[in-house]
């Protein structure tokens, strides 16, 4: 009974938060207080759940019978616990950041913004706790729809057109591929529950499994596997806190989380391994990693570069999951956590630069590290994590994925990982170098943004809340390198003992 | 016992209410009579559904003349299911109509509106309970004639043309139907549907039966607005008064679909229709065309009523697709979508009625900025739109779920792609509304903003809430739909 309440409250907390936020729209201070309190309450609930799961508990609860024989169900397993903790924990920090950003940039419609933000977290919790594929699918679609108003926040034509791409790709892939995969699974296996070892074992031959896997891999558009990645850069039209939390953590992680979940609990790693039906996925994922990195290398717009870096990093998770070894599954889950922390730091920094200096392009960043040392230090740590260098969390996950690829003698994956590390360094280190080692432009050089310089000639650091948020996540990125025991234990429980 | 007369009363109550309203003539008492009659009718329909769910088929000899001499009323779970949809829609539209027609119909014609709505209701329900082929034709005409006048009551002068267009096409349809019935009478010597079904087995394969099947199929397809026989529908829905659009969209085509199912499965027997003839393939082809062509046309509309009308033609394609699969699963999906689409489209037209009242039209230029001026109505339209797309958590998703799994059960994997691709077209036409409502500024001459009057708003929102409710808890609706499918599939000759 208490377990039931515990599970339900993880969904109810953000829902109640949404309602209160909508009601408190007229009083910004109260509204922001509500967001923060909701986020803190949710995080504590989520931590409690994760602790229980570490202790071996596997709470489950049937919400409602939707169709005869098919229920909406919550059930927690270690992977869900990891995603729940990441999304709720980073919500607190990004709330602090959002308050600074939205006020600093005098954004309009802030109430709608905070309500939809809470709604996205609600959907993320639903995805994390979903006990079967149908429940997961419902929250997955809910997340697409509730984030739509966030992507279109500015209401301009550009925002509308980008949001068309966003919605078109995400809804299109999920309806055309994921839903057909889901229904096929239901018809073939007679269940949609998540089970250790998979539910398709013995139901489907190698070709059928491979076809079904195509539907899932491309149907989960949020994982941004090429060629269905275009929504991610398009979504960068949103305010930066949205890009930070949603398009570095909640939405994209919902995608790769679903991929890992489907591989482990629907198909079953051993099943896929023996059938050989997943052999093609690492190739596509590797292609995504490399080509997205090349696009990122050429992008001058900072957020666009980060977006393509995300596309590339997401495919690390897909690649790792479809290597199918227990240790690579651990690497995939570790990378979900590590990339979330690193990328949110990078986006926070990009937003800080925009708020303080109104700069959006990489080439404008010469010498900015002298004026914004905190921001650029945080950025550098995030970049280290993306490249996968110690002492940042990205090193840990890359280590696991690389050793899995090595032990499987999967030389394509090894090659992709090495090349991508070089490319990552190639597009992140120049930014760090520009910021710290190049002279700031003199007023005469930058006549095209003379207007901005007039206003921001004396700009310093971003607002305190924003600086606080990004240094916290940067510190956590390093923290996860030294202390990742709980995540590792949860990940091992997902992958099965090894 | 009164309950044993329920099959007759289902028709008699609204049929008597109509002349009574004409006697009274004043607007308010007319409305009260109509409200009372629809409430009673709904109660009867609900009780009939409950009875047929537990006890099979109810047969009732009109005037105690036993079939095949007299006219038999016969209702099973399939008829009762559609009757509940029709009666419920009547009950929802009535409270809505009081304010709903105030600006759209001239006040001296209000009593006519109520009387005709009663006639239309009586005709539609009559089709569902009668067990006699010719009597069915009579009720078809009763409801159609009432509908022609109701459409012509629209404020726009083009309503007259729309009504005339529908009159022509509807009459052709009814004539084709009656020719088909005549041929069947010639072959079997009976008009009683149950009798006809048994005798058709003896008659076997003959040119007359084949011709009858063709006449009836085409005639009823006209009333269904099955692509490409849908030309009357967009204008009729667009120019009729709002409550009429809502009522027709939710009921009229659905009842005709019921008739088609009855003839295909109960009278001719599925083997006759689907195996011996190409009917299944033809219906499949037309359904696919219906799912795509009108959906594309809907994308290019500039008027919300017309957009929804074309969307209806497209959604009808899903229902007939389920029929063409010739399986219990397919029929169940059809029955399911019949219910879910009535709920969705009825709700959307009701919300739109309130919007039209406030904005003075359903053109996109009038609806611009609706998200600011009527936030709740705009949001309700979006929710209804999501149900048209079939987003999970809405009634439309349940339909899609069953339709796709029915196709998979039949091994028709390519149909899965077709159904889902067609929903992507729905995304586009629904999103046209979203962008108009949320990304454009309200027109400069917009009257005082505010939501629709409560008497319109509550019924409309109730239906939209129903879309969500039946999308999350579909156990009841799927159980009934399953029974409907079983009755249609396994009871040729109606409970012989």
- Binding-face residues of A in 398-437 toward B, CB within 8 A: none
What is the tens place of the pLDDT at every residue in A305-336?
999 999 999 999 999 999 888 888 888 999 99
Mean pLDDT of the B191-218 span: 84
What CA–CA distance (Å, rounded) separates B123 from B114? Answer: 14
Position A205 pLDDT exceeds 90: no
Q: Going by C-beta distance under 8 Å and a sequence separation of 6 or more, which residues neighbour residue A325? A: A269, A404, A407, A408
User: Does an H or E element contain B205, and which?
Assistant: none
Are A328 and A401 in contact by the 8 Å Cβ rule? The answer is yes
For chain A positions 77-136, those within 8 Å of chain B (CB to CB) are 134
- Which backbone phi and psi does B293 adopt, to 5 degrees? -60, -55
* B74 bridge partner residues: B59
**Which pLDDT score is estimated for B121?**
93
pLDDT digits (tens, 9 = 90+) for A395-410: 989 999 999 898 888 8
Give, as one character, the DSSP assignment of residue B231: T
Cβ contact B472–A64 (<8 Å): yes
Pairing between strand B72-75 and B58-61?
antiparallel
Q: How far apart are CA A148 and CA B304, in angstroms?
A: 22
Chain B closest-CA separation from residue A163 CA (Å):
10
Under 8 Å between Cβ of B337 and B322: yes
For tokens 């809502």, what's the residue? B246
Q: What DSSP line would sit under B315-381, residue for residue?
A: HHHHHHHHHHT-SHHHHHHHHHHHHHHHHHHHHHHHHHHHHHHHHS--BHHHHTTHHHHSHHHHHHH
pLDDT band at A497 (very low <50, low <70, confident <90, very high): low
Question: Tokens 């904005």 belong to which residue?
Answer: B359
Partner-chain contact A186 B398, CB within 8 Å = no
The stretch B142-155 carries a mean pLDDT of 91
Distance separating alpha carbons of residues B124 and B142, to the nearest angstrom: 8
Q: Which residue of chain B is at minimal alpha-carbon distance from A134?
A: B392
Contact A476, A379 (CB under 8 A): no
| Chain B residues within an 8 Å CB radius of A72 | 472
The residue behind tokens 């994308």 is B299
Helix H or strand E encompassing B108? none
Residues of A in contact with B299 (CB under 8 A): none
Mean pLDDT confidence for A443-472: 65
What is the percent of chain B with per-residue pLDDT over 70, rounded to a whole number?
96
Answer whether residue B196 shows pLDDT above 80: yes
Say yes or no: A69 contacts chain B, CB-CB below 8 A. no
Q: Determine the average pLDDT of the residues in A185-193.
A: 89
Cα angle at B444 between B443 and B446, to 5 degrees? 70
Structure tokens at A224: 């941004």
Helices assigned H by DSSP within A24-132: 28-54, 78-104, 110-129
Q: Is the pLDDT at B487 greater than 90, yes or no? A: no
B390: enclosing H helix or E strand: none
Residues B378, B371 contacting (CB under 8 angstroms)? yes
Per-residue pLDDT band at A122 (split at 50, 70, 90) = very high
Write the residue in A67, A141, A171 that is nearest to B474 by C-beta.
Answer: A67
Report the C-alpha gap between A339 and A345 in whole angstroms: 10
Mean per-residue pLDDT of chain B: 88
* C-alpha span between A112 and A20 (Å, rounded): 12
Neighbours of A430 (CB within 10 A): 15
Query: What is the end-to-end Cα distance of chain B in Å, rounded?
Result: 26
Identify the sign of the CA torsion A259, A260, A262, A263: positive
Q: A203 or A211, which is more confident?
A: A211
Q: How many residue pairs from chains A and B have C-beta atoms closer than 8 A?
A: 73
Kindly tell me if the per-residue pLDDT of A196 is higher than 70. Answer: yes
Rounded to whole angstroms, how far apart are CA atoms A446 and A452?
Answer: 10
DSSP state of A247: I
Give the model's pLDDT for residue A450: 46
Q: Which of A64-68, A107-111, A118-122 has the lowest mean pLDDT?
A: A107-111
Q: What is the mean pLDDT of residues B450-471?
A: 89
Residue pair A193/A77 in contact by the 8 Å Cβ criterion: no
pTM of the complete model: 0.90
- Phi and psi at residue A75, in whole multiples of 5°? -155, 130
Tokens at A120, concatenated: 């996205």
Tokens coding B290: 């219906």
Inter-chain contact A183–B401, Cβ cutoff 8 Å? yes
Write the residue in A64, A155, A167 that is nearest to B473 by C-beta.
Answer: A64
Quick count: other Cβ atoms within 10 Å of Cβ B51? Answer: 18
Q: What is the mean pLDDT of residues B166-185?
A: 93
CA distance A164 to chain B (A): 9
Question: pLDDT band at B1, cuts 50/70/90?
Answer: low
**What pLDDT was estimated at residue B340?**
93
The answer to whether B357 touches B100, Cβ cutoff 8 Å, is yes
CB distance B82 to B48 below 8 Å? no
pLDDT higher than 70, residue A443: no
The mean pLDDT value for B304-320 works out to 93
Task: Express each pLDDT in A33-61 by its tens digit.
Answer: 888 899 999 999 999 988 888 888 888 88
Q: B335: which residues sit within 8 A by CB, 6+ positions away?
A: B78, B81, B322, B480, B481, B484, B485
Band (pLDDT 50/70/90 cuts) for residue A254 is very high
Dihedral sign computed on CA atoms, order B198, B202, B204, B208: negative
Partners of residue A61 on adjacent β-strands: A74
Rounded to an integer, the average pLDDT of B135-149 is 93
Average pLDDT score over residue span B283-306 = 92
User: In whole angstroms, what is the distance from residue A24 CA to residue A39 CA?
Assistant: 16
Query: Mean pLDDT throughout A122-138?
Result: 92
For residue A317, the distance in angstroms to the closest alpha carbon of chain B comes to: 27
Rounded to an integer, the average pLDDT of B307-330 is: 91
**CB atoms inside a 10 Å sphere around CB A248:** 30
A158 part of contact set with chain B, CB < 8 Å: no
Check residue B496 and give its pLDDT.
Answer: 35
- Please tell me the predicted confidence (pLDDT) of residue A442: 66
Per-residue pLDDT at B493 exceeds 50: no
Q: What is the pLDDT of residue A358?
A: 83
Per DSSP, the residues of B116-136 read HHHHHHHHHHHHHHB-BHHHH
Q: Do B473 and A180 touch (CB under 8 A)?
A: no
Reported in sequence order, the residue ranges of B62-162 that DSSP labels E, i.e. its strands, are: 72-75
ipTM: 0.87
Please write the tens of the pLDDT for every residue from B4-42. 888 888 888 999 998 998 898 888 888 899 999 999 999
Q: Does A288 have pLDDT greater than 70?
A: yes
What is the rounded radius of gyration, in angstroms, for the C-alpha atoms of chain B?
21
What pLDDT band is residue B448 in, cutting at 50, 70 and 90?
A: low
Cβ atoms B261, B488 nearer than 8 A: yes
Are the CB atoms for A260 and A156 separated by under 8 Å? no
pLDDT in tens, B381-436: 999 999 999 999 899 999 999 999 899 888 888 898 899 889 999 999 999 999 88
Instruction: Report residue B146's pLDDT band, with 50, 70 and 90 as the boundaries.
Output: very high
Summarize the confidence of residues A190-202 as an average pLDDT: 86
Q: Which contiguous run of DSSP H or E holds residue A240?
A: helix A240-245
The per-residue pLDDT for B398 is 92
Tell which of B420, B434, B435, B470 to mutate to test the A interface (max A CBs under 10 Å): B420
In this structure, the dihedral spanned by the alpha carbons of residues A248, A249, A255 and A256, taken in order and rounded to 10 degrees, is 90
Q: Is the pLDDT of residue A454 over 50?
A: no
- A67 in reach of chain B (CB within 8 A): yes
CB-based contact, A16 to chain B, within 8 Å: no
- B68 SS3 class: coil
Q: Is A168 on the interface with B (CB under 8 A)?
A: yes
Q: Write out the two tokens for A267.
A: 């198909």
Q: Is the pLDDT of residue B271 over 90?
A: no
- pLDDT exceeds 90 at position B124: yes
Which of B340, B379, B392, B394 is most worth mutating to test chain A (most A CB atoms within 10 A of its CB)? Answer: B392
């Amino acid at each position: 009974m208490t377990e039931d309440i515990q599970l339900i409250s993880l969904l109810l907390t953000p829902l109640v938060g949404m309602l209160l936020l909508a009601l408190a729209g007229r009083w910004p201070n109260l509204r922001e207080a509500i967001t923060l309190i909701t986020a803190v309450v949710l995080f504590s609930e989520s931590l409690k759940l994760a602790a229980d799961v570490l202790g071996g508990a596997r709470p489950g609860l049937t919400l409602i019978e939707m169709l005869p024989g098919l229920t909406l169900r919550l059930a927690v397993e270690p992977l869900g616990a990891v995603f729940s903790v990441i999304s709720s924990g980073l919500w607190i920090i990004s709330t602090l950041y959002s308050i600074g950003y939205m006020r600093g940039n005098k954004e309009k419609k802030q109430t709608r913004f905070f309500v939809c933000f809470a709604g996205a977290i609600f959907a993320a919790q639903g995805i994390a706790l979903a006990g079967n594929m149908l429940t997961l699918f419902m929250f997955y679609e809910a997340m697409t729809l509730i984030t739509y108003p966030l992507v279109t926040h500015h209401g301009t034509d550009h925002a509308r057109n980008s949001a068309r791409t966003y919605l078109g790709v995400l809804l299109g892939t999920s309806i055309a591929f994921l839903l057909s995969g889901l229904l096929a699974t239901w018809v073939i296996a007679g269940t949609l529950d998540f089970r250790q070892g998979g539910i398709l074992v013995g139901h489907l031959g190698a070709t059928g499994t491979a076809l079904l896997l195509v539907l899932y891999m491309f149907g989960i558009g949020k994982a941004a596997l090429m060629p269905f990645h275009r929504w991610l850069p398009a979504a960068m039209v949103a305010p930066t806190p949205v890009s930070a939390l949603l398009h570095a953590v909640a939405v994209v992680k919902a995608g790769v989380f679903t991929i890992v979940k489907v591989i482990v609990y629907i198909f079953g790693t051993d099943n896929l391994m023996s059938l050989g039906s997943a052999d093609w996925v690492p190739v596509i994922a590797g292609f995504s990693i490399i080509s997205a990195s090349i696009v990122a290398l050429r992008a001058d717009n900072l957020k666009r570069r980060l977006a393509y870096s995300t596309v590339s990093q997401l495919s690390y998770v897909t690649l790792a999951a479809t290597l199918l070894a227990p240790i690579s599954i651990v690497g995939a889950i570790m990378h979900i956590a590590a990339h979330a922390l690193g990328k949110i730091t990078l986006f926070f920094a990009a937003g800080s630069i925009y708020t303080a200096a109104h700069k959006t392009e990489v080439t404008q960043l010469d010498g900015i590290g002298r004026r914004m040392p905190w921001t650029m230090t945080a950025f550098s740590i995030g970049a280290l994590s993306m490249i996968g260098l110690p002492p940042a969390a990205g090193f840990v996950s890359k280590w696991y994925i690389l050793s899995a690829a090595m032990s499987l003698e999967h030389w394509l994956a090894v090659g992709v990982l090495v090349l991508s590390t070089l490319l990552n360094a190639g597009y992140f280190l120049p930014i760090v170098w520009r910021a710290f080692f190049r002279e700031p432009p003199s007023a005469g050089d930058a006549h095209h943004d003379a207007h901005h310089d007039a206003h921001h000639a004396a700009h310093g650091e971003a607002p305190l809340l924003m600086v606080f948020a990004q240094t916290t996540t940067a510190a956590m990125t390093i923290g996860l390198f030294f202390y990742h025991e709980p995540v590792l234990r949860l990940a091992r429980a997902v992958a099965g003992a090894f | 016992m009164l309950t044993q007369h329920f099959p007759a009363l289902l028709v008699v109550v609204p049929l008597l209410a109509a002349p009574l309203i004409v006697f009274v003539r004043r607007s308010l008492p007319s409305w009260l009579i109509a409200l009372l009659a629809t409430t009673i009718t709904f109660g009867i329909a609900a009780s009939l559904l409950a009875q047929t769910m537990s006890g099979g088929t109810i047969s009732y000899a009109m005037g105690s003349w036993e079939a095949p001499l007299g006219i038999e009323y016969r209702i099973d779970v399939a008829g009762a299911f559609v009757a509940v949809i029709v009666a419920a829609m009547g009950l929802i539209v009535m409270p809505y109509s009081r304010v709903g027609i105030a600006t759209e119909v001239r006040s001296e014609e209000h009593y006519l509106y109520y009387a005709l709505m009663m006639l239309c209701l009586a005709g539609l329900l009559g089709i569902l309970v009668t067990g006699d082929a010719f009597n069915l034709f009579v009720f078809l005409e009763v409801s159609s004639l009432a509908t022609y006048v109701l459409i012509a009551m629209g404020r726009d002068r083009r309503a007259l043309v729309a009504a005339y267009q529908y009159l022509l096409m509807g009459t052709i349809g009814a004539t084709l139907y009656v020719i088909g019935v005549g041929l069947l009478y010639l072959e079997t010597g009976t008009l009683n549907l149950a009798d006809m079904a048994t005798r058709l087995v003896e008659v076997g394969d003959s040119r007359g039966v084949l011709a009858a099947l063709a006449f009836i199929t085409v005639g009823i397809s006209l009333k269904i607005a099955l692509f490409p026989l849908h030309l009357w529908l967009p204008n009729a829905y667009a120019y009729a008064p709002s409550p009429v659009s809502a009522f027709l969209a939710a009921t009229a085509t659905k009842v005709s679909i019921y008739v088609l199912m009855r003839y295909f499965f109960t009278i001719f027997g599925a083997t006759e229709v689907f195996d011996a003839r190409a009917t299944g393939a033809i219906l499949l082809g037309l359904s696919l065309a219906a799912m795509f062509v009108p959906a594309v046309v809907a994308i290019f509309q500039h008027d919300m009523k017309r957009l929804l009308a074309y969307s209806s033609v497209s959604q009808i394609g899903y229902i007939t697709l389920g029929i063409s699969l010739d399986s219990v699963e397919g029929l169940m999906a059809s029955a399911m979508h019949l219910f879910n689409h009535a709920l969705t489209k009825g709700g959307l037209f009701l919300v739109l009625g309130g919007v039209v009242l406030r904005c003075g039209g359903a053109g996109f230029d009038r609806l611009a900025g609706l998200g600011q001026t009527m936030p709740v109505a705009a949001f309700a339209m979006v929710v209804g739109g999501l149900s048209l797309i079939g987003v999970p958590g809405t009634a439309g998703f349940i339909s899609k779920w069953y339709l796709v799994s029915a196709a998979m059960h039949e091994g028709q994997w390519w149909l899965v792609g077709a159904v889902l691709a067609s929903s992507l077209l729905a995304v586009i036409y629904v999103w046209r509304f979203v962008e108009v409502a949320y990304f454009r500024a309200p027109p400069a001459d917009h009257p005082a903003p505010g939501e629709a009057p409560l008497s319109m708003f509550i019924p409309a929102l109730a239906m939209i809430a129903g879309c969500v409710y039946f999308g999350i808890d579909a156990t009841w609706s799927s159980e009934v739909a399953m029974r409907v499918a079983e009755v249609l599939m396994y009871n040729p000759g109606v409970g012989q």
